[in-house]
Amino acid sequence: MTAPVTIVFLAGLLPILAAHLAYLLNIWAGTQLAPEFICMPYLDGCVSISRAARSGPGLHLFRALMLPSAVLLLLGWEFVREWLRGLDACTPRRAWLISILGVIGGFFLVFYATWLGTEGEWYRWLRRYGVIFYFGGTALAQLLLIWVLWPARARLAGGRLVGSITTLVVLVSLQWALGVFSAVKRLIFDDPQLIDRLENIIEWCYALPMATGFIVIAWMFRQTGFHARLHFGK
């Protein structure tokens, strides 16, 4: 695989591994999670990603995987910008905007991963807004990416990207559908415990397609034989 393919692939794979392995490691350690926090989080919502990884040996594994992932995201979005320009998929300004939003998300992931598990109001603020801007910046960047790719899907790379672009559209659409549901859930339900569980389920189900989207982008890089040198700010 080329460097861009490898970097973007790992940027998607590492967060998936970090969340799940940290959770499983803390369960295996036996002392970090109460019994009620051991479940299938995608269905039961007994624990959030942060709660599953913010203590015990799982925390160290989570940081060890997420911090490199943040660096790879910063590089990966620059590669996306170069790739879009090479395909003539959109204007340079739109490619730059997609990259900037993605870089913002990767930058705030550093804050979240670094201060996860720490105490104090300041660190809590950094974690809260770190994860908000990570999810928000990344989700907006992926949304704009499919916005420019979908109309041009038939002509890009001779039509070879239609399947991959469609897959990415499905993944991003799922994220945004979950985001809308999260915004209105308190208008539908009034049970605080149910709302907490729904928030946890949404978090797990939102993060997975977001990370998987980068694996799809890496596959599109490979389909087009993408090679690039980074030219930051150009």
Specify if 229 maps to a domain. no
DSSP 121-150: HHHHHHHHHHHHHHHHHHHHHHHHHHHHHT
Specify if 230 maps to a domain. no
150, pLDDT greater than 90: yes
Specify if 104 maps to a domain. yes
How far is it, in rounded angstroms, from Cα 10 to Cα 6? 6
- Average pLDDT, integer, range 26-37: 72
Specify if 231 maps to a domain. no
Number of domains present in the structure of the chain: 1
- Whole-model pTM: value is 0.91
Specify if 22 maps to a domain. yes
pLDDT confidence band for 116 (50 / 70 / 90): confident
pLDDT at residue 76, as a whole number: 95
Query: Tokens 């109001």 belong to which residue?
Result: 121
233, pLDDT greater than 60: no
Give me the domain span that covers residue 110: 3-223
Q: Which tokens is 76 given? A: 């990966």
pLDDT digits (tens, 9 = 90+) for 217-226: 999 999 999 9
pLDDT at residue 232, as a whole number: 47
